[in-house]
């Protein structure tokens, strides 16, 4: 897990370093997203996979369980708010109870997350993607997410994978000493100190019927919080979801009805006026 996360961070750093001022993106979108989105109204947020550790001088890192639980809850809140703002209906589903009562569902959820990890190797293969080319991907998780659709009734699922670390006081001291020593050896006037903390997040919106990854994004930062997820979710696709289609059609129908009613009222008023006019005297 740690090696895989480090690999993701290196890919992200390399993209930033080698692309310079060119407009590149970490977003990947399905090539048929525009048409698929019009049939998606409901989404469910799978329990975020969160791993946060305290890195210590000895190398025997310790899990920060309380912080993991806090970040997990915050990620769900952030995702719910952002998805709703896009016009999507977020289904409130008790994953904990479903997992406890149904081994097949628990296994399916694990398979979906594993399938996403494999799919990311195709989506993020170390090559930079220009902003204008982000919507050209056709990667699927296969039937791994079908069970999620059956259990939750959601047409899409948001998968989140979060990793974070903080360093102990001893490790921070070691990093400072190493940075100063390196600067002295190179004859520099300032020392480059490794950050005391860091985080990385992967998010993917998946069609639960086809298994297609509709949208995915990743972000990294030097603080262990949900800000990187917020930034990533701010790049959700600019498409028309089913709910927006229905809303537009409803608004159009109401507008048309109002116009017809106004015309009818105007015609009725005109007729009443004509009837009320006195006849010419004979």
pLDDT digits (tens, 9 = 90+) for 45-85: 999 999 999 999 888 999 999 999 999 999 999 999 999 99
Residue 264, pLDDT > 70, answer no
Centroid of chain to Cα 100: 26
DSSP 53-105: EEE-TTS--EE-HHHHHHHHHHHHHHHHHHHHHTTPEEP---HHHHHHH-HHH
pLDDT digits (tens, 9 = 90+) for 13-33: 544 444 455 699 999 999 999
The average pLDDT across 215-238 equals 96
pLDDT of amino acid 253: 47
pLDDT of amino acid 128: 85
Whole-angstrom Cα distance, residue 161 to residue 119?
13
The average pLDDT across 153-175 equals 89
Would you give the end-to-end CA distance of the chain in angstroms?
Answer: 103
Judge whether 213 and 140 are in contact, CB under 8 Å: yes
The average pLDDT across 263-268 equals 62
Judge whether 63 and 215 are in contact, CB under 8 Å: no
CB atoms within 10 A of CB 151: 19
Residue 231, pLDDT > 80, answer yes
Q: Is 271 helix (H, G, I), strand (E, B) or coil?
A: helix
pLDDT of amino acid 74: 98
Whole-angstrom Cα distance, residue 262 to residue 208?
45
Judge whether 123 and 137 are in contact, CB under 8 Å: yes
Q: Report if pTM > 0.85.
A: no
């Amino acid at each position: 897990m740690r090696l895989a996360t480090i690999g993701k961070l290196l890919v992200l750093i390399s993209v930033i370093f080698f692309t310079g001022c060119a407009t590149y993106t970490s977003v990947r979108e399905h090539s048929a997203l525009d048409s698929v989105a019009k049939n998606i109204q409901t989404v469910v947020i799978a329990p975020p996979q969160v791993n946060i550790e305290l890195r210590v001088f000895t190398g025997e890192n310790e899990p920060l369980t309380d912080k993991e639980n806090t970040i997990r809850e915050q990620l769900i809140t952030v995702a719910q708010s952002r998805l709703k703002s896009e016009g999507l209906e977020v289904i409130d589903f008790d994953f904990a109870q479903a997992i406890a009562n149904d081994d097949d569902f628990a296994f399916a959820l694990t398979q979906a997350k594993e399938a996403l990890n494999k799919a990311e190797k195709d989506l993020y293969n170390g090559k930079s993607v220009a902003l204008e080319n982000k919507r050209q991907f056709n990667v699927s998780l296969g039937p791994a997410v079908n069970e999620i659709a059956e259990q939750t009734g959601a047409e899409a699922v948001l998968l989140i994978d979060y990793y974070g670390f903080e360093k102990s006081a001893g490790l921070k001291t070691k990093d400072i000493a190493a940075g100063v020593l390196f600067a002295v050896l190179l004859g520099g006037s300032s020392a480059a100190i490794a950050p005391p903390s860091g985080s990385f997040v992967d998010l993917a919106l998946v069609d639960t019927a086809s298994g297609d990854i509709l949208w995915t994004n990743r972000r990294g930062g030097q603080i262990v919080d949900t800000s990187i997820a917020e930034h990533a979710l701010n790049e959700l696709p600019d498409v028309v979801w089913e709910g927006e289609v229905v809303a537009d059609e409803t608004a159009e129908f109401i507008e048309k009805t109002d116009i017809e009613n106004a015309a009818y009222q105007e015609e009725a008023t005109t007729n009443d006026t004509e009837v009320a006019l006195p006849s010419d005297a004979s």
